[in-house]
Amino acid sequence: MTVQNPVSVIMESARGYQPIILTDVLMSQRKIFMLGAVDTESCSRIISQLMYLDSAAPGEDITVYINSPGGNVSDGLGVYDCMRMIRSRIRTVCIGTAASMGSIIFLGGDRRCMLPHSRLMIHDPSNGSDFTGKRPNDIQTALDMLRTVQYELCEIISERTGQKIEDVYEQTATETYFNSQQAVDHGFATEIISSLE
C-alpha cells in the first residue's frame, strides 16, 4: 500500500536525528495494521509483513490491529491462512469495526481482543456481479461458487468461535453486529481490553 504523505516521527540514531515513518517504527515493535478495505494491495502488504516478522523472530507474538469494512474474500482468506500457518502467535485487536472479511481476519488471532466500544459484523458473502445477459449455466456456476465460499466462511466462524454451524448460518443470513461484550459471549473475541499494550 502506497501511503500518501506517510506520518513520520523524529528519532535519534547513530547519524543524528532523522525522520522515520511511523508504521516502520510500529512494525519494529511487531505491530501491523489492517485499516480500510480488504483488497489485493492491503492483503499483500499484511502477508509480507507477517512473513517477515515471523522469519525475523519465529515464535514471538505479532499484534494485528483491525479497523475494516471488509472486502474481497479471496484476498482476506489469504491473510487468514497466513496468520494460522506462521509460527508466531497472533494477537488481533479490533479498533473500531471489523466487518465482513475484516471479522474473518480478526478470527485468525490466537488472542482476539476488543476495545470497549469496538464491534464486529458478520454476514453471507455476496457475488457483486450483474447477472443481466448471463446464461443460466454461468449463473448456476456463480451461485455454486458463492455457496462454497459461504460454507468455508461459516466453517471458519464455527471452528474459531465454538458455535454450531447451524447457528452461524442463521447469524450470517443478515448483517449481524456484536458489541465487544457480545463478541466475547459468542466466542468471537477472547477478551475486552482497556489499554493498548
Active site residue: 68, 88, 100, 118, which one? 100
CA distance 187 to 25: 32
Measured CA to CA, the distance from residue 168 to residue 146 in angstroms comes to: 16
Catalytic residue list contains 123: yes
The active-site residue out of 8, 44, 123, 158 is: 123
Closest CA to 39 of 85, 1, 82, 65: 1
How far is the C-alpha of 157 from the C-alpha of 164, rounded, in Å?
9
What's the number of CA atoms in the CB half-sphere (13 Å) around residue 139?
7
**Residues carrying an active site annotation:** 100, 123
